[in-house]
Amino acid sequence: MTIELYYSREQIPIDIPDGVEVDEFAPCQIDKPLTLEQFRTEFQDFGGTEFLREKLPLLVVNDAYRSTPTVTILKWLERIDRRLLDEAPYIVATGTHDAPTEAQLQKIFGPFLERIRERLTIHDAVNYDTMVKLGVDSLGGDVWLNKVAAEHQWLLLISSVEPHYFAGFTGGRKSLFPGLTDLATIERNHNLANSMLAAPLKLKGNPVAEHLDGLMQFMESSRLFGLQAVLDATGEIAALFCGQLEDAFLRATTRAEEIFAHEIDEQYDVVICELLPPLDKNLYQVQKALENCHEAVRNGGAIILISTCEGGVGSDYFMKLTESWDRSRNEPADGNWRFGSHKLSRVNAHSQRIEVLLHSTLPEATVRRVFYEPLDFVKKFLYLRSDQRELHRLAVVHDAGNMVLKT
């Protein structure tokens, strides 16, 4: 049997030994994408018309690193209320990312960019002059928010919801935290991902998600109206949930789980994970597939991540952390947890239970430095496992950066 997987902008064949039971998984595709009229009905039924009555909200949008269909949503909103394109202010929620390039702004706003440019703000997580302090969080740290969002009475938040490898799901309150907050608050939140209780699809009992929930105490819920899109495997809009932000987000998570998650009855000896663009770009992104699928591997089994990583490591800061990492204790040698520490601690923890293998174009030394094992020949590995009677059940996960296997 031969399975074809995306690698370096082409399909590569993976030969599977005879006698191996193979299951394939992929996100769902919908028959018909959402229409303008369906969106209009949802918007009206969940208070959108009332929210806009005599109110001109600040529109909060994601940056270009997310697959949110912002252009389509803006086209639909124009049909509902032209003021949203002609008069309303906008802000790009960047979190820790750099300011969008001109090309990225074109990707976010498409034909609307020039129309809204003069009313557009870009968040900067390290510029405290552009933020106001909201209070102190449960971890004892100061919480800041971009002044534009803090001082505007009404916010309309446009986002997309899919599984997130340690926050449970993207979307919802993540447009504000980390989207429009300060770097120190983001770092405190991300450091909670060192706990293995932080996992995709999980909100309750997830320290990262619960910290985000706690940050929402600083925001009056009636000010926040959410447009939360759920896409299918092809990027079509499967659903778009409107209403008070938390309610719209939670309804969207249910639909996202239907599209991007699959429950398995029994763990596998080996799981092969295919990463698709843009999540195959670098080593930093690869971990998403590992977190999404590791539960499907039995103790002592192996997970194989297929990703060219043509963009290299993806974060020099992330690699620098390895210089002072105590692998046996699985913590920084000086005991100080820093932004990005979870990228090391989690891979190291997984590698104690299963083999974590990466088929990529990266140098072997680079791969091993962050606790993956390089794998040049996937076919050879599978046949060797089969000969040793250690491979009976195999899972192949397409688009594993988004697809979650749960037990």
Give the residue from 243, 260, 277 where a domain finishes: 260
User: What is the Cα–Cα distance from 232 to 219, expressed in whole angstroms?
Assistant: 31
Co-location of 44 and 171 in the same domain: yes
- 329-357 mean pLDDT: 92
Considering 228, 260, 292, which residue would you say is the last residue of a domain? 260
- Residue 364's domain is classified under what CATH number? 3.90.226.30
Length reported for the chain: 407
- In this predicted structure, what is the pLDDT of residue 61? 98
- Do residues 209 and 268 share a domain? no
Position 121 scores a pLDDT of 98
- The answer to whether 230 and 239 are in contact (CB under 8 A) is yes
Q: What's the mean pLDDT in 280-297?
A: 94
Bin 134: left if φ > 0, else alpha if -120 < ψ < 50, else beta. alpha
Q: CA dist 177 to 123, 128, 146, 244, 251, Å?
A: 12, 15, 10, 17, 19
Mean pLDDT in the chain? Answer: 95
Does one domain contain both 317 and 350?
yes
Q: Same domain for 174 and 289? A: no
Q: What one-character DSSP code corresponds to residue 376?
A: S
Residues 6+ apart with CB under 8 A from 231: 67, 69, 160, 162, 237, 238, 259
Q: Which two tokens stand for residue 353?
A: 């239970």
**Whole-number pLDDT of residue 259:** 96
Question: CATH number of the domain that 244 lies in?
Answer: 3.40.50.11440
Q: Judging by beta carbons within 10 Å of its beta carbon (0-12, 13-18, 19+), is residue 359 exposed, middle or buried?
A: buried
Find the mean pLDDT for residues 234-245.
96
Please give the tally of structural domains in the chain. Answer: 2
Contact 345, 194 (CB under 8 A): yes
3-class DSSP state of 290: helix
Q: What is the pLDDT of residues 166-212, one digit of tens each?
A: 999 999 999 999 999 999 999 999 999 999 999 999 999 999 999 99
DSSP string, 30-94: -SS---HHHHHHHHHHTTHHHHHTT--PEEEEE-TTS---HHHHHHHHHHH-THHHHT--EEEE-
Say whether 403 sits in a helix, a strand or coil. coil
Going by pLDDT thresholds of 50, 70 and 90, the confidence category of residue 278 is confident
Beta bridge partners of 171: none
What residues make up the domain containing 338? 2-27+264-406
pLDDT tens for each residue of 295-322: 999 999 999 999 999 999 887 777 888 8
**Up-side HSE of residue 20: CA atoms within 13 Å toward CB?**
28
**Mind listing the pLDDT tens digit for each residue in 382-401?**
999 999 999 999 999 999 99
Same domain, 78 and 135: yes
Same domain, 80 and 216: yes
E strand residue ranges, 120-236: 120-122, 131-136, 142-146, 155-160, 163-164, 168-169, 224-231
Read off the pLDDT band of 279 (50, 70, 90): confident
Domain boundary among 211, 245, 260: 260
| Range of weakest confidence among 5-9, 89-93, 214-218, 247-251 | 5-9
Q: Which two tokens stand for residue 360?
A: 């990529």
User: Looking at the structure, do residues 271 and 389 belong to the same domain, yes or no?
Assistant: yes
> Are 116 and 256 within one domain?
yes
| Location of structure tokens 């998984």 | 25
Per-residue pLDDT, averaged over 100-122, amounts to 97
Let me know: does 291 contact 346? Beta carbons within 8 Å. yes
Same domain, 84 and 156: yes
Task: Identify which has the larger pLDDT, 75 or 54.
Answer: 75
Same domain, 6 and 109: no
**Cα–Cα dist 18/5, whole Å:** 19
Using a cut of 0.75, tell me whether the model's pTM lies above it.
yes
Which pLDDT score is estimated for 65?
Answer: 85
Tokens of 48: 């959108």
**94 and 236 together in one domain:** yes
Give dist(CA 130, CA 146) in Å, integer: 6
pLDDT for 319: 85
**Do 284 and 372 belong together in one domain?**
yes
What percentage of the chain reaches a pLDDT higher than 90? 89
